[in-house]
Chains A and B, each alone.
Chain A
Amino acid sequence: MARTSLRRALPHVLRHAVLILASLVFFGPFVWMVLASLKSAQEALSFPPTFLPQEWRFDNYLSLFDAVPFGLYYGNSIFVTVAATVGQVVTSLAAGYAFSRLHFRGRNVLFVVLLAALLVPFEVVFTPLMSLLASLGWLNTYQGLIIPNIPSILGVFLFRQFFEGFPGEIEDASRIDGAGVWRRFRSIMAPMAAPMIGSFTILAFVYNWNNFFFQFLAVNRTEFFTIPIGLSQLQSTHGTSFNLLMAGSTLAILPVFVVFLLFQRQIVTAMSGGLR
């Protein structure tokens, strides 16, 4: 009797054991980051290590804002992320609808070009792209941080696929009622795409917030620094003040983490849907 219940319980115990260990490895560093951000610089590296801060140093966050203009970086990151995300969602929704529902000459050729462009990662073109931005006078500008990031091939694919899988009857009915293409797009198709808009918005938000490499190349003046750039700068100026670095990391990670907690389902749907 006891043996069978043990046999039955064992897989569950093992599963929890593995998953608890995994949680420690994958999530523990973030807990350690927050705790270290509230310790003194010495305590963050003390031997033996303390778990909870002996003395809660909330003023680390004030020191961080004294060391670097983190508020400005925050504002820049929010502005650039929101603008690029809105741009990506609007342009992808429009193009996805057109590629799926409208007939126009050259549509298939354009779509094949888009497919081909998907094979070229941004990392291949960054050298001439940055010199193009330089000749436009767009380095160290908001438009330089935002506009080149707006076209999203993935977004166009996601919306096209959404509209392809969407029953045509509703649109046909309103077409027969005499609704023009713009009205159908605005008042029927775009609202119907709300779930996909939601998923893609969140995916785009996370992508834009974390877009280090592009921003790293496009700006070198602190007025235009975003959070990831500001953090890497903080590393070079305050490399050993780990409590400040962890305070900065906490502030950088917090917004995406909150967005993720709120919209987990949409993120997972968009990510696992994006590969079909």
Chain B
Amino acid sequence: MIDTPAAPAARRTAPRRVEPVNQHRRAEGRAGYVLVAPTAILLTVFYLWPLAQTVVFSFTDWNPGTGLVTTSVGLANFTHVLTDPEFGRAVANTLVYVVTVVPGSMALGLVFAALLATPFRGRALYRTMIFTPYIAPIVGSALIFSFLLTPLGGLVNQFLGLFGVRPIAFLTTEPWAMVSVVIFSTWQLVGYTMIIYSAALTNVPQSYHEAATLDGAGPIRRFFSISLPLVGPTSGFLAITGVIGSLQVFTQVYVLTGGGPLGSTETVLYWIYQQGFVLFDGGSASAGAVLLLVFGIVASIVQLTVISRRDAVELS
């Protein structure tokens, strides 16, 4: 800290005219530390310290139940994680999630953003209704889905029954459980992608559209030739945040399927949770978390380069 006891004495001997400036500087510096301190301290205690522990514990046989670390086990946790078929399946499930939910929610979000780009009667109402799933608590909306998808008397099965389809136990049979999780997650996320794309589309100069209209381009042609290329960087951003978000999926899986049937909807985070809080294998949970972290950092670095490219596009 710059606020040492010697400081006032030094100030007294300094030339008079400089004094107020120094004093201001010092007061500002002190204020800076005080204002940053709450965030910095809380972040260190509840974030950086556990992060350091995660890394250290990933090389030990830490038991979160007892809090005991007895010995270092080298890379054994990592070998366990990487050879555990359940972890492999969790990674595979997460990948399925990434390649379905991320592009699906982006495509739908872009379509809705484009349909809502120009003012017309009812626009605000449509936007509100499409956005609502994103702000609703996931536990609540996942319960609605489990109600809609229930085999006997659920609305979806009743509807399918009109076409002679026999009731499907969507949440407890393969592959329907994963399909349900994917559809729910896409449904939940579209409001977000729509809002982000809307913001990007408002940055597309109206004159481009006017010029294209004069040249005889219809709305669909304008969408593919003007809007779509110009929101490219936004798509990059959404793709990467989508991937990072996919690594953190837990709540809807917990409520809809509980990870089942037979682990077919278990995600990476769900696997880490089970290792740490059900099996009390803190070492493996930490190793899994470290792998998640590495993957997240790689994705974030890609994201940062995408964003800086986006800024470059906006500046040009």
Interface residues of A (CB under 8 A from B): 11-12, 15-16, 18-19, 22-23, 25-27, 29-30, 32-33, 36, 44-49, 90-92, 94-95, 97-99, 102-105, 107, 110, 113-114, 117-132, 134-135, 147-148, 150-153, 156, 175, 180-182, 185, 206, 209-210, 212-213, 216-217, 227-228, 231-232, 235, 242, 245-246, 248-250, 252-253, 256-257, 260-261, 264, 267-268, 271-272, 275
Q: Is B262 located at the chain interface by the 8 A CB criterion?
A: no
Shortest beta-carbon distance from B89 to chain A in Å: 19
> With A210-B138, A212-B137, A275-B196 in contact, is A123–B129 under 8 Å at CB?
no
> With A29-B144, A124-B292 in contact, is A151–B46 under 8 Å at CB?
yes
> With A22-B130, A102-B31, A150-B42 in contact, is A119–B296 under 8 Å at CB?
yes
Alpha-carbon distance between A102 and B64 when the two chains are bound, in angstroms: 42
Instruction: Tell me if B251 and A127 are in contact (CB < 8 A).
Output: no
Per-residue CB proximity of B121-138 to A under 8 Å, as 1/0? 010011011111101111
Instruction: Tell me if B53 and A212 are in contact (CB < 8 A).
Output: no
Closest-by-CB residue of B relative to A255 is B137
Interface hit among B8-16, B70-78, B93-101, B281-289: B281-289
Q: Is B140 located at the chain interface by the 8 A CB criterion?
A: yes
Q: Which 7 A-B pairs have the closest CB atoms?
A: A45-B153, A104-B32, A272-B199, A27-B129, A128-B53, A102-B32, A98-B35
Instruction: Tell me if B196 and A271 are in contact (CB < 8 A).
Output: yes
> With A127-B286, A156-B39, A253-B141 in contact, is A98–B64 under 8 Å at CB?
no
| CB neighbours of A48 from chain B (8 A) | 158
Instruction: Tell me if A249 and B140 are in contact (CB < 8 A).
Output: yes
> With A105-B2, A120-B296, A212-B251 in contact, is A249–B141 under 8 Å at CB?
yes
| CB neighbours of A267 from chain B (8 A) | 135
Alpha-carbon distance between A104 and B31 when the two chains are bound, in angstroms: 9
Closest-by-CB residue of A relative to B191 is A26
| CB neighbours of B2 from chain A (8 A) | 104-105
Q: Is B33 located at the chain interface by the 8 A CB criterion?
A: yes
**Most chain A CB inside 10 Å of its own CB: which residue of B36, B46, B290, B296:** B36
| CB neighbours of A235 from chain B (8 A) | 143, 146, 255
Interface hit among B21-29, B80-88, B174-182, B204-212: B21-29
> With A23-B129, A125-B50 in contact, is A29–B148 under 8 Å at CB?
yes
| CB neighbours of A124 from chain B (8 A) | 51, 54, 289-290, 292-293, 296
Shortest beta-carbon distance from A249 to chain B in Å: 4
Closest-by-CB residue of B relative to A246 is B147
| CB neighbours of B228 from chain A (8 A) | none
Q: Is B49 located at the chain interface by the 8 A CB criterion?
A: yes
| CB neighbours of B300 from chain A (8 A) | 118-119
Alpha-carbon distance between A114 and B307 when the two chains are bound, in angstroms: 18
Alpha-carbon distance between A84 and B39 when the two chains are bound, in angstroms: 13
Instruction: Tell me if B32 and A25 are in contact (CB < 8 A).
Output: no
Alpha-carbon distance between A102 and B277 when the two chains are bound, in angstroms: 43
Interface residues of B (CB under 8 A from A): 2, 24-25, 27-33, 35-36, 38-40, 42-43, 45-51, 53-54, 57, 64, 67, 111-112, 115-116, 120, 122, 125-126, 128-133, 135-141, 143-148, 150, 152-155, 158, 187, 190-192, 195-196, 198-199, 218-219, 237, 241, 244, 247-248, 250-251, 254-255, 269, 272-273, 276-277, 282, 285-286, 289-290, 292-293, 296-297, 300, 307
Shortest beta-carbon distance from A222 to chain B in Å: 16
> With A121-B244, A249-B143, A253-B136 in contact, is A103–B251 under 8 Å at CB?
no
> With A92-B39, A95-B35, A95-B39 in contact, is A123–B47 under 8 Å at CB?
no
Instruction: Tell me if B272 and A272 are in contact (CB < 8 A).
Output: no
Shortest beta-carbon distance from A33 to chain B in Å: 5
Instruction: Tell me if B147 and A36 are in contact (CB < 8 A).
Output: yes
Instruction: Tell me if B237 and A275 are in contact (CB < 8 A).
Output: yes
Closest-by-CB residue of B relative to A155 is B39
Instruction: Tell me if A110 and B36 are in contact (CB < 8 A).
Output: yes
Instruction: Tell me if B282 and A127 are in contact (CB < 8 A).
Output: yes
| CB neighbours of B196 from chain A (8 A) | 271-272, 275
| CB neighbours of B145 from chain A (8 A) | 29
Shortest beta-carbon distance from A4 to chain B in Å: 14
A sample of 26 inter-chain contacts (CB < 8 A) reads: A19-B115, A22-B112, A22-B126, A27-B130, A49-B158, A102-B29, A103-B32, A124-B290, A127-B57, A127-B286, A128-B53, A131-B67, A151-B46, A152-B39, A181-B31, A185-B31, A206-B135, A210-B136, A228-B137, A248-B143, A249-B139, A257-B136, A260-B132, A260-B135, A261-B128, A275-B237
Closest-by-CB residue of A relative to B290 is A124
| CB neighbours of B272 from chain A (8 A) | 123, 127
Instruction: Tell me if B140 and A32 are in contact (CB < 8 A).
Output: no
| CB neighbours of B50 from chain A (8 A) | 125-129, 132
Instruction: Tell me if B251 and A246 are in contact (CB < 8 A).
Output: no
| CB neighbours of B293 from chain A (8 A) | 120, 124
> With A212-B138, A235-B143 in contact, is A91–B39 under 8 Å at CB?
yes
| CB neighbours of A153 from chain B (8 A) | 43
Alpha-carbon distance between A242 and B152 when the two chains are bound, in angstroms: 12
Shortest beta-carbon distance from B68 to chain A in Å: 10
